[in-house]
Amino acid sequence: MIPAAFDYHQPGTLAEALKLLKEHGNEAKVLSGGMSLLPMLKLRLASFEHLVDINRVPGLDYIKEKGGNLCIGAMTRQATLERSDVIKSKFPILADAVPLIADPLVRNRGTIGGNVANGDPGNDQPAIMIALGATYVAQGSKERTVAANQFYKGLYDTALARNEILTEIRIPMPPARSGGAYTKLKRKTGDFAVAAAAVQVTLGKNGAIESARIALTNAGLTPVEAVDAGKYLSGKMPDDKTLMEAAKMAAAKSSPSADVRGSVEYKKEMARVLTARALKSAVQRAGAN
């Protein structure tokens, strides 16, 4: 399969990339890892007059701690995240998720920026970023930040303007007694999730849950944040009954559609089961007894 013809641009700087986007408006699309965009172009599910390839824009591939945040450059490959010590030690939610994204060859190309900016509800990292309370840095005529939970507007529709490039993901460093987990059910390697749950919790000194954030992948047109379930958990001891109740509340927020991966009922039930498992694992990792 061959994509429809397009003009290809390979800017050497971010300023040059932004200029190209401004010049070509709606006809232009940013190409990062290309692991979603190129298949879509080949299947002719999408076409653009201009592709602006940011693979050679320097300074967008990094993982560093700065000002209380873990800052990840948008062009950081999934394979780099998979081998990162800070992610293994401090962000188990990402360490769970990255090996479950597509397959190792795709992870050699695919980027975190592409994963979160694409606006596909089947992508794993949007829900994770919502659970982590992350913000995205968008570069356009000026720099601005958008909270991950304000970013997703609809199917492939995000807060990112046509003339903007998502350049960095900022994740607050979790306080002590925090833990996270990502649980995903997929039929086979390379498939998108039947259902998946992202959970990040922080426990108080008395062992009760201080804060909890839950978000679901492939549970609607955008990632679904289960705000009520998170609030319900706040102040409660993380016993099984409480976690099960929160999982039920989270699943009730999901609105998946029926497809080859299963019926609506099945997917909602899987969202409940996976949320319960993620909650259990997250509170354990946070140091609960």
Partner 1 sequence: MAKHKISVTINGAVREAEVESRLLLVHLIRENFAMTGTHVGCDTSHCGACTVHLDGQPVKSCTVLAVQADGCKITTVEGLEQGGKLHAVQEGFTEKHGLQCGFCTPGMLMTTSALLERNKNPSELEIRQAISGNLCRCTGYVNIVNAVQYAAEKMR
Question: Edge-to-edge strands of the sheet including 224-225?
Answer: 178-185, 195-203, 209-217, 224-225
**3 secondary structure, DSSP code:** P
**Is 200 strand, coil or helix?**
strand
- 42 binds partner 1 per the rule CB under 8 A: yes
- When binding is defined by CB under 8 A, the residue of 13, 15, 25, 39 that contacts partner 1 is 39
Q: Residue 4 or residue 15: which is nearer to partner 1 going by CB?
A: 4
- 45 binds partner 1 per the rule CB under 8 A: no
- 109 binds partner 1 per the rule CB under 8 A: yes
67-96: contacts with partner 1 (CB under 8 A): 79
Residue type, 91: F
Stretch that binds partner 1, among 11-19, 33-41, 212-220, 267-275 (CB under 8 A): 33-41
116-145: contacts with partner 1 (CB under 8 A): none
- 61 binds partner 1 per the rule CB under 8 A: no
Handedness of CA 117, 157, 147, 278 (dihedral sign): negative
Q: Residue 49 or residue 245: which is nearer to partner 1 going by CB?
A: 49
For residues 99-108, b (16+ Cβ closer than 10 Å) or e, as one string? ebbbeeebbe
- Under rule CB under 8 A, how many of the chain's residues touch partner 1? 30
CB of 56 to partner 1, least distance (A): 9
- 106 binds partner 1 per the rule CB under 8 A: yes
For residues 126-154, b (16+ Cβ closer than 10 Å) or e, as one string? bbbbbbbbbbbbbbeeeeeebebbebbee
Closest CA to 126 of 83, 82, 169, 64: 169
Using CB under 8 A, list all residues that contact partner 1.
Answer: 1-8, 10, 34-35, 38-39, 41-43, 51, 53, 55, 79, 99, 102-106, 108-109, 189-190
